[in-house]
Chains A and B, each alone.
Chain A
Amino acid sequence: MGLGGHFCVFPPYAGSSTPMDSASSSWKRGRLASMVGMHARYEFASLSSCTVGCLSFLLQRFMLTMSALQVHSRIGNLWRQRIDTMREYEVLRDGNVFGTGFSNSFVFSTEYEQARRMLGELVTRYQDLTVETVFEGKEITNDGGTCYLLESRHNIPVPHFDRDQFRNEVFKDITLVHGVGLATRKRLNDRGFHRIPDLLEHPKFRSGAHQVLDCLRRDNSAEIMDLIGCRYSKSHPAVLGVAAMHEPEDFVFFDIETLGLFSRPITLFGIGIIERGDLIVRQYLLRDIAEEQAALAATSEILSGRHRAVVTFNGKSFDLPYLLDRLAYYGMAIPPQIPHFDVLHFSRRRWKDRFPSLRLTALEREVLGIHRKDDVPGQMVPEFFETYLRTGNCGPLVPVVDHNRQDVVSLARLFFHQIRESYDGC
């Protein structure tokens, strides 16, 4: 306070010392707080009343600041405690398939216990190790800042895409022409109209045929998916067949991990692309929430490439809208809309009567024979990531990264598997 000597202020109050919030006070704050608690017992020296008044004013301001700080640290803790108790999934007794009001947001209790145990073990095992040491990757920089990129290569069977075969199949389906139902098709077949180009000669269906052929000529797979989807249903195998219009390199297999069900950061972006016959999985990881923008920028750029088509599992409801929402949150540009193949929809249509569960992990088990070991349940990824954020210990990240990588790989494999099947089936 800049005044020499001792001074004494008689505060117009008394009482016990103020309790400190031990959890979050920094050392410095703690020391200042205990000074307040001692109620400033200094000795009086002969100072004018003006100075005393001034001092008392300053001391009051000083204490006001201190108390404001203490109030704030209390507030920080209060909110943290409350938010810690919130969970976006229910833990159910094993075998309780009837669940609760929430359809997919549940975890069986043994799974839950196992995961919590694993979390503890990881934290112990990876103590004091950095992300860069544990994960082989590299830091990337772009307009959004920095983030960490992990790459891996996987050999998966890629079907052969025959564009001409696809076109022929479409031409053969004259019911795509507006006004042609099954009965009409039979009549037209009998009269020698077997393919859509044939109908260009037909007075009634000429313009309809033109429309379809123009659409095909425009070569926009999203448009063609719409056309076929309107005629049949959006998840009909024929819609999946439109994938044949693309090269395998066009597909972006996309899966994200987030900090919650919505309005929270995306923490890991998993992107798979076929390059030179192999599936390259690129994972953009946030070492820190401030890295989200860079990861968004990188993802957005990939999705903006020419000829791109995105493939997801439940991405129509979750991954894509979530991505767009986060881009809007930061005021970043939205990539143009590209064709979207949602493998969950096609799976549901194809396999809903065959498999009890249509979760990705269930399908990869049944259809691809993949069994994950030490996997973290998707709903618990947020708390694993949060442990890393809070403690700096990157152990919890290990299963999260593995989980996401496997999600992308299985997604790609299921996609290609379905395409192969629909070719043979159709």
Chain B
Amino acid sequence: MTVADVLRILESNPVYQKRVLHLETTLPEFSEYGMLDEPLSPALQSYLDQKGIRLYCHQCEAINHIRAGKNAIITTPTASGKTLAFNIPLFEHLENDLGARALYLYPTKALANDQLATLLRMETYCGLDAKPAIYDGDTPQSKRATIRENARIIVSNPHEIHHILSWHTKWRLFFSGLRYIVIDEAHRYRGVFGSNIAFLIRRLLRICRYYGSSPQFVLSTATLANPLEFAENLTGQHFVLVDKDGSPHGTKNFVFYNPFFNGVGERSAHQETKDLLLSCVQNNLQTLCFAGSRKMAELITVWAREDARRISVQLAESITAYRAGFLPEERRMIERGAKDGTMRGIVSTNALELGIDIGALDAVIISGYPGTMMSTHQQAGRAGRSGNESLAILVAQANPLDQYFMNHPREFFLRPHEHAIIDIKNPYIFSGHLLCAAAELPLNEITDGKSFSQTLSDILPELASGDLLKKTSRGWVYSGRGRAADAVRLDGIPGETFRILCQGKLLETMSREQAYREAHNGAIMLHQGTTYLVTEMDLEIHTIRVVETDVDYYTQPLKEVDLSVINVLETKVIQGLECAFGDVEVTEHYTGFKIKRGDTIIAVEPLSLPPLTFRTEAFWFIVTADIETTICEAGLDFAGGLHGTEHALIALMPLYVVCDRWDIGGLSSPSFGDAGKPTVFVYDAFEGGIGLAEKAYELLPALFASAHELVRDCRCEDGCPTCIYSPKCGNDNQPLDKEATIRILGRQIKMQEEERSAGCASEPENTCRVPAGMVN
């Protein structure tokens, strides 16, 4: 049985047929090989020959650039041989320069281990003496000094670097010889986390400069809409892009499968996934299935095995789950089973997306849109053994993004990928790294202003007045009693931390915002697949107590949002609509929560939590009077239309900037502020702003267009979770008016089209810019 056979089944089976909304077939591509400017050394050449490898065009391009001393970002797909593309030129350099060192950064231990194994093999074969080693939190104390002194290639992760920088005197030999920094899976470093990493890298470069080295970067990422901008934001350096993929692949079939083809659906997306999995496995396709959560992965596996057992025990045993929580031996066993073909069906969470060496399979099923096109392509990219036809199936959930793609498949295949955002201006983030930098070497206002691309003249005295920095003749010295690198968390913005305890054991920690939202008194909380009830929330000692529970209801907080504009940084007029971007102050007040079973509200309880106030960035626009009049005259709910517009925009923002719903918030008001104009705000839900609203502001026309399509083409009557209902609406999704929403969004689109057909430039009419970041 082959992929073609399964496709035929999907097309002919009446149940499947209704749900298959789209099939995108990509023709096979042959290999495209490349030419190196200079031949390789005999050792490296024979390494390739022995493995039967001929270098593809993108590998040669990358090698040529790296040899020429340029910083390179490689965005070709998974399994295109990116690792070789940077290992080769680095090995070459290390062969010729005995003092040279290289640093490889990985986001997970498993990836680091895989890379180490590859490096060791290459080293043995080529006869190079680089002594590659891992240096991270698990490296025993006794080995650390030896590795620092002797390893010419060190594989580590950002968290470790964050801590060792204050020990840089012990690393002098390594840093002074550092020629290359390789950052693999770099697209993971985006958003708040990425912004922290961006400053960490600037700290690292500052230390390198101190020891006289200026290393070259190689970034390896998934496909992004803005690779060069991203690379430059992450590292502060200029890059060249290598994106033309020369690796071969067979015919690729991508199926869009919608269990909610009729709006309501007959069964859950996960049950339908299980059926698809079983069909593929029964037809002899080795299949990888991605589920959104650990619990779902387990459930799908259990159901699939139950059904499979009716056919044969052997079939049932060949289906397994795979996730990060398994012991290493278990994972190795499954990986081996995947490689030798005994494991026919593997159900995983997104962990596998991260390049663990499981080889390629025949089919991939993705249960629920993973949140970004980037991830979807990466997961789908696991299908297709060399040259063979492959199958990927995206099974949609009942939410706006998933349904949007199901109904507008071209948007998925034609749209360029998302923008990965890194904000190097957020003062809350960079101030922390400034403190760390001061603890590493005294800060100099001028030269370190350049290191961090900021003006430091204001922030330094402020940190000093908090007794954390002290100006001395040598520069600004860190004088805090706590250790700076311990105070700065890479995955967050400074704020209070709440601890979640279950029977005294620490489950996880949360920021105050998240705690108010998800772990308030009486909330039902999900953690790694287990359900908990919050029994106590102590704001003074920042502790939340939970107990395990097994209830059939869930909770949703009710929130009131207040907003005031602090600064308008930019304005533009898009087809008559006043749009703006600037700093705002948001107050979020959780007043109560709903208890729901399924879609029914069983009860509403009050909450007494203090309001959360924070400064952030937002874009907003004002709906003109004529639209308002039209809508009111048609007897529609104008406020409901504004609210729906807000929801639709938030739902679709992830299409353009990589974020998820929780990273952004919104507010709509038919009469906002003193001027009383109908306004819709969308803001970054992080203190100081994180660049999301800023990017969306740039892309507003496209965002409006997609939002309009989403709502207009939704087959529901009055609005539903797949268009304008938001799962996180603090107002309980009231008021909402689908028709009014369409008119508000539609009006903008209509004007855009009118403009276009009238041959006008599609530039906005008046752009009044106040340069952001100007400080007196």
Interfacial residues, chain A to chain B (CB-CB below 8 A): 11-16, 18-19, 24, 57, 60-65, 67-69, 71-80, 82-88, 145, 259-265, 288-290, 292-293, 324-325, 328-331, 382-383, 386, 389-390
Contact = CB atoms under 8 A, between A and B. Distances in A.
A82 B487 contact: yes
Given A67-B566, A79-B431, A386-B467, A145 B473 contact: yes
27 contacts: A13-B566, A14-B564, A14-B565, A14-B672, A14-B674, A60-B568, A61-B774, A65-B775, A67-B583, A67-B615, A69-B458, A72-B427, A72-B458, A72-B462, A75-B463, A76-B462, A78-B495, A83-B481, A83-B487, A145-B472, A260-B482, A263-B484, A265-B479, A292-B477, A331-B474, A386-B467, A389-B467
Nearest to A39: B674
A83 B496 CA distance: 11
A79 B472 contact: no
B613 to A, nearest CB: 7
B688 interface: yes
B460 to A, nearest CB: 9
Given A13-B673, A263-B439, A292-B477, A86 B483 contact: yes
A51 to B, nearest CB: 16
Contact of A13 (B167, B480, B568): B568
Nearest to A390: B467
Contacts of B571: 12
**Smallest CB-CB A-B distances: 6 pairs:** A15-B564, A13-B565, A14-B673, A14-B674, A86-B482, A76-B466
B472 A293 contact: yes
Contact of A264 (B480, B583, B585, B672): B480
A386 B151 CA distance: 40
B600 interface: no
B166 A75 contact: no
B468 A79 contact: yes
Interface string B539-569: 0000000000000000000000001111111
Given A60-B567, A60-B568, A260-B482, A79 B435 contact: yes
Given A76-B463, A290-B471, 9 more contacts: A15-B673, A63-B567, A67-B615, A76-B466, A77-B466, A260-B483, A265-B478, A293-B474, A389-B479
A290 B471 CA distance: 7
B55 interface: no
B435 A14 contact: no
Contacts of A328: 169
Contacts of A386: 467, 481
Contacts of B465: 24, 73, 76
A292 B472 CA distance: 9
Contacts of B585: 15, 18
B463 A83 contact: no
A16 B564 contact: yes
B340 interface: no
Q: Give the interface size bracket for B toward A.
A: 35 or more
Contacts of A390: 467
B770 A61 contact: yes
A75 B462 contact: yes
Contacts of B463: 75-76, 79
Nearest to B471: A290
A71 B688 contact: yes
A18 B479 contact: no
A289 B481 contact: no
Nearest to B622: A12
B494 interface: yes
Given A65-B776, A68-B458, A79 B432 contact: yes
A12 B580 contact: yes
A289 B439 CA distance: 13
Nearest to A259: B481
B486 interface: yes
A154 B167 CA distance: 38
Given A19-B613, A75-B427, A79-B435, A330 B484 contact: no
B468 A82 contact: no
A65 B571 CA distance: 19
Contact of A330 (B458, B474, B480): B474
Nearest to A78: B494
A57 B770 contact: yes
Interface in B23-44: none
B386 to A, nearest CB: 50
A299 B435 CA distance: 27
A57 B483 CA distance: 42
Contacts of A145: 472-473
A61 B428 CA distance: 21
A84 B459 CA distance: 19
Nearest to B435: A79
A13 B431 CA distance: 29
Which of A57, A68, A145 neighbours the largest number of chain B CB atoms within 10 Å of its CB? Answer: A68
B477 A265 contact: yes
B155 interface: no
Contact of A290 (B470, B613, B776): B470
B165 to A, nearest CB: 9
A259 B478 CA distance: 10
Which of B458, B482, B674, B774 neighbours the largest number of chain A CB atoms within 10 Å of its CB? Answer: B482
Nearest to A63: B567
B88 interface: no
A15 B565 contact: yes
Contacts of B327: none
Contact of B479 (A16, A64, A264): A264
B472 A289 contact: yes
Contact of B169 (A18, A62, A65, A324): A324
Contact of A64 (B166, B674, B688, B774): B774
B666 interface: no
A18 B563 CA distance: 11
Interface in B577-608: 580, 583, 585
B758 interface: no
A24 B468 CA distance: 14
A290 to B, nearest CB: 4
Interface in B413-436: 427-428, 431-432, 435
B730 interface: no
B538 to A, nearest CB: 15
B675 interface: yes
Given A65-B775, A69-B458, A79-B494, A86 B486 contact: yes
Contacts of B435: 79
Contacts of A71: 427, 615, 688
Nearest to A86: B482
A12 B679 CA distance: 12
A64 B775 contact: yes
Contacts of B688: 71
Which of A83, A331, A390 neighbours the largest number of chain B CB atoms within 10 Å of its CB? Answer: A83
Given A65-B776, A328-B169, A75 B431 contact: yes
Given A289-B472, A330-B474, A390-B467, A83 B568 contact: no
B442 interface: yes
Nearest to A265: B479
B564 to A, nearest CB: 2
A382 B481 contact: yes
B441 interface: yes
A331 B210 CA distance: 10
Contacts of B431: 72, 75, 79
Contacts of B484: 83, 263
Contacts of B776: 61-62, 65
B163 to A, nearest CB: 10
B686 to A, nearest CB: 13
A344 B647 CA distance: 67
A389 B472 CA distance: 15
A14 B432 contact: no
Nearest to A383: B481
A63 B774 CA distance: 11
Contacts of A82: 482, 487, 494, 496
Interface in B626-672: 672
